[in-house]
């Protein structure tokens, strides 16, 4: 048993409703100060086999409960998350370094909502549409599919996991979760609650471990019916290859290099506020609009306003209420970010502010909020996802150029537009290649809305009915008017 931030958490796997250990372990560090939080069980093919077998055994019973029966248990899980919200918030902050105040007020309430929303959606909103064809009646249903494998990253570990666990379990699938090795602990605490809520053993399982070991074994497992992977493009390619032999259906939520476009008629105060928000979670947000594209006529004033906003950002210990910006997840990731900035500088780009490590807390992994200008078109810093507090700024002279620059990327996760004219905003938004477009706002999310990426930002959409379309087997049953006794 580990004790982290005053929370007792078991670092072993959760398989078939029991704790299971492995011979090996991996170390878990806190990004806040580099403290060693403990050793976590390091699963591989054997543990994945056991978890998939447990999930398969539990599947018929869970599927047979129906949306209502499953919904009652899932509702209790959501209640328990809410009751223990402070523990989840403290544990996650210590483990992944995101702000405690965000965990308390936004992220952990959303964890409970992820479970409750999809449980209720399955009961109230999947209405089994019917339509007539030459006197025949077609009835659409969403049937449980089997075992869903869920592989998640570290930037919002439990929120991103439950955003998939919710609809998978509500669909009647059973689940094997492989949490991220850089922030594995809240998944383990969550597993405990599923048992407390009365979820039958094997319905929800957790295999801890390294991506290329436990993750790879899960992605290639023939007993898995769905794979939902959230993470980077290179890993997605490995997951796709592993899944190919079994033709396992995939949902991919990947990275981004999203634009934040500031038009010449934009409210520049709003634009600067939105731009500064792109540093949230120390820039470790898939949706972050890290490419600032600004009309040349307002670029100077916008940059000045942004600099002013950034000066107000307090970087430090994410457990302090006053802190706005915490650490990066891991020394390896910090080095990666630093490498991107150094190479941009070497290639002639200008570092307007930031661009270096800072140490507001001794031993922690912090990088200053950074703005880069004058980068060469097509250069690494303008095309690759840094996943840190690093924004670039480019200018454009007209609408056409803004759209061309915005779409000049392999990604297509999100786009943010700051614009003073509604018809113009609609015209531009319609031409942006992105799964989500925000106009004069950022990060407004609704679980009923489709979420996902175009191009290399992902495959498929989640949220509302789109989640059920993925986790369930969608079936059409056609009844003839003839042949009835």
User: Cβ closer to ligand NAD: 151 or 375?
Assistant: 151
Rounded (10°) CA dihedral 121, 126, 127, 129:
150
CB 392 within 8 A of CB 345: no
Residues 6 or more apart whose Cβ sits within 8 Å of residue 234: none
Tell me whether residue 209 or residue 318 sits nearer to ligand NAD (CB atom): 209
Is 478 tagged catalytic?
no
CB 284 → ligand NAD: shortest distance, Å?
Answer: 7
The DSSP string of 145-208 is -SEEEEE--SSSHHHHHHHHHHHHHHHT-EEEEE--TTS-HHHHHHHHHHHHTTPPTTSEEE--
Q: Which of 286, 245, 305, 263 is nearest to 400 (CA)?
A: 263
Q: Which is nearer to ligand NAD, 241 or 427 (CB)?
A: 241
Structure tokens that stand for 311 in this block: 């000066």
Contact 374, 346 (CB under 8 A): no
Identity of the residue, 302 or 411, whose beta carbon is nearer to ligand NAD in the bound complex: 411
Q: Which residue is nearest to ligand NAD (CB)?
A: 211
CB of residue 289 to ligand NAD, shortest distance in Å:
13
Q: Which residues bind ligand NAD (CB under 6 A)?
A: 151-155, 160, 178, 180-181, 211-212, 215-216, 219, 230-232, 235, 238-239, 253-256, 286, 385, 387, 413, 453, 458
CB of 142 to ligand NAD, least distance (A): 22
Dihedral (CA of 192, 198, 202, 203) sign: negative
Closest distance to ligand NAD from the beta carbon of 434 (Å): 12
The one catalytic residue among 286, 385, 419, 462: 286
Q: What are the helix and strand counts (H, E) for the chain?
A: 16, 24
Q: Which is nearer to ligand NAD, 62 or 387 (CB)?
A: 387
Q: Classify residue 263 by its DSSP letter.
A: -
Question: By the 8 A CB rule, do 337 and 282 touch?
Answer: no
Q: Among this protein's residues, is 228 annotated catalytic?
A: no
Catalytic residue among 47, 253, 385, 462: 253
The minimum distance between CB 302 and ligand NAD, in angstroms, equals: 25
Q: Which is nearer to ligand NAD, 288 or 419 (CB)?
A: 288
Q: How far is the CB of 58 from ligand NAD (least distance, A)?
A: 23
* Distance between CA atoms of residues 355 and 380, nearest Å: 16
CB of 302 or CB of 451, closer to ligand NAD: 451
Long-range pairs of 16-20 with CB within 8 A, sequence gap ≥ 24: 16/50, 16/51, 16/54, 16/57, 16/58, 16/201, 16/202, 16/205, 17/54, 17/195, 17/200, 17/201, 17/202, 18/201, 20/47, 20/50
Active site residues: 253, 286
């Amino acid at each position: 048993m580990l004790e982290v931030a005053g929370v007792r958490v078991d670092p072993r796997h959760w398989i078939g409703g029991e704790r299971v250990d492995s011979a090996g372990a991996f170390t878990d560090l806190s990004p806040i100060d580099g403290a060693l939080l403990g050793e976590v069980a390091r699963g591989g093919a054997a543990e994945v086999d056991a978890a998939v077998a447990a999930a398969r055994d539990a599947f018929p019973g869970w599927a047979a409960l129906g949306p209502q029966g499953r919904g009652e248990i899932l509702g209790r899980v959501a209640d328990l998350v809410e009751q223990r919200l402070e523990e989840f918030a403290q544990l996650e902050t210590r483990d992944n370094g995101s702000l405690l105040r965000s965990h308390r007020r936004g992220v952990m309430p959303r964890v409970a909502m992820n479970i409750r929303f999809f449980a209720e959606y399955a009961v109230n909103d999947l209405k089994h549409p019917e339509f007539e064809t030459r006197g025949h009646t077609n009835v659409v249903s969403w049937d449980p599919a089997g075992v869903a494998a869920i592989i998640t990253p570290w930037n919002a570990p439990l929120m991103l996991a439950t955003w998939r666990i919710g609809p998978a379990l509500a669909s009647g699938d059973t689940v094997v979760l492989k949490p991220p090795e850089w922030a594995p602990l809240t998944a383990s605490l969550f597993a405990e609650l599923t048992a407390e809520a009365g979820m039958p053993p094997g319905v929800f399982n957790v295999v801890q471990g390294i991506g290329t070991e436990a993750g790879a074994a899960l992605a290639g497992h023939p007993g898995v019916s769905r794979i939902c992977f959230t993470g980077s493009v290179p890993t997605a390619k490995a997951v796709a290859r592993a899944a190919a032999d079994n033709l396992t259906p995939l949902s991919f939520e990947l990275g981004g290099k999203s634009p934040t476009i500031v038009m010449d008629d934009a409210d520049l105060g709003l634009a600067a506020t939105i731009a500064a928000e792109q540093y949230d979670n120390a820039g470790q947000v898939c949706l972050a609009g890290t490419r600032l594209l600004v009309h040349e006529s307002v670029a100077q004033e916008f940059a000045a306003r942004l600099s002013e906003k950034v000066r107000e950002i307090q970087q430090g210990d994410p457990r302090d209420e006053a802190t706005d910006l915490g650490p990066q997840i891991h020394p390896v990731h910090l080095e990666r970010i630093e490498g991107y900035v150094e190479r941009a500088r070497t290639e002639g780009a200008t570092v307007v502010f930031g661009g270096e490590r800072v140490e507001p807390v001794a031993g922690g992994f912090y990088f200053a909020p950074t703005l880069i200008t004058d980068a060469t078109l097509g250069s690494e810093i303008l095309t690759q996802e840094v996943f840190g507090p690093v924004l670039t700024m480019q200018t454009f002279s007209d609408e056409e150029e803004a759209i061309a620059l915005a779409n000049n990327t392999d990604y297509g996760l999100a786009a943010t537009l700051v614009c003073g004219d509604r018809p113009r905003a609609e015209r531009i938004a319609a031409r942006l290649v992105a799964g989500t477009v925000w106009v004069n706002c950022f990060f407004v999310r609704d679980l009923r809305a489709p979420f996902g990426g175009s191009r290399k930002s992902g495959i498929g959409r989640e949220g509302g009915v789109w989640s059920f379309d993925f986790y369930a087997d969608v079936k059409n049953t056609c009844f003839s008017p003839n042949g009835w006794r």
